[in-house]
C-alpha cells in the first residue's frame, strides 16, 4: 500500500515548517557551513578581553555548542526525511523495510524506523 499523496504533502509541510524553525534558531548561535546538508558551526562571541570575560566566552560557547549539536541533528533528520519524500522512499523503516505507522509519522514526521525497530 503506497502512502496517500495528500498525507505526504501534509507531512512535508510539517517538515518544512520545522526546518525553518530550526534554521532560525541555529542562525542565532551558529553560521551555516553547508546549509543544504544542515551543517553548522557554532559562533564564538567575543565579550571582552579580561579573564572574567574570557571565562564567560568559553562558558557561553560550550553551552551553544551543545544546543547547536542538538538542533543540527534534528535539522539533518528533517533534511533526510525530505530527501526520502523526493525519492519516493518516505515512510519506510530503515531497519526492517516495513511501512512506518502513519500515526507515528504524524507525531514525528522525520522518524526513520517503525515502532518495533525503535
Pure H helices in 3-116: 5-29, 51-87, 102-107
Instruction: Return the half-sphere exposure (C-beta side, CA atoms, 13 A cut-off) of residue 77.
Output: 16
- Report 74-93 residues binding Zn ion (CB under 5 A): 93
Structure-block grid coordinates of residue 83: 530527501
Q: How far is the CB of 102 from Zn ion (least distance, A)?
A: 14
Q: How far is the CB of 111 from Zn ion (least distance, A)?
A: 10
Three-state SS at 38: coil
Among positions 33, 95, 102, 106, the unique one binding Zn ion when judged by CB under 5 A? 95
Among positions 16, 58, 89, 117, the unique one binding Zn ion when judged by CB under 5 A? 117
Can residue 96 be called a binding residue for Zn ion (CB under 5 A)? Answer: yes
Structure-block grid coordinates of residue 36: 543544504
How many Cβ atoms sit within 10 Å of the Cβ of residue 86?
A: 9
Q: How far is the CB of 98 from Zn ion (least distance, A)?
A: 5
Residues engaged in binding Zn ion (CB under 5 A): 93, 95-96, 114, 117
Amino acid at each position: 500500500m503506497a502512502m496517500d499523496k495528500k498525507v505526504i504533502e501534509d507531512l512535508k509541510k510539517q517538515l518544512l515548517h520545522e526546518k525553518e524553525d530550526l534554521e532560525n534558531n541555529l542562525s542565532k548561535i551558529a553560521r551555516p557551513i553547508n546549509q543544504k546538508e544542515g551543517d553548522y558551526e557554532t559562533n564564538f562571541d567575543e565579550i571582552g578581553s579580561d579573564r572574567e570575560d574570557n571565562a564567560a566566552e568559553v562558558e557561553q560557547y560550550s553551552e551553544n555548542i551543545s544546543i547547536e549539536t542538538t538542533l543540527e541533528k534534528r535539522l539533518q533528520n528533517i533534511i533526510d526525511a525530505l530527501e526520502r519524500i523526493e525519492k519516493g522512499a518516505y515512510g519506510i523503516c530503515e531497519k526492517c523495510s516495513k511501512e512506518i505507522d502513519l500515526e507515528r509519522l504524524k507525531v514525528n514526521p522525520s522518524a526513520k524506523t517503525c515502532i518495533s525497530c525503535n
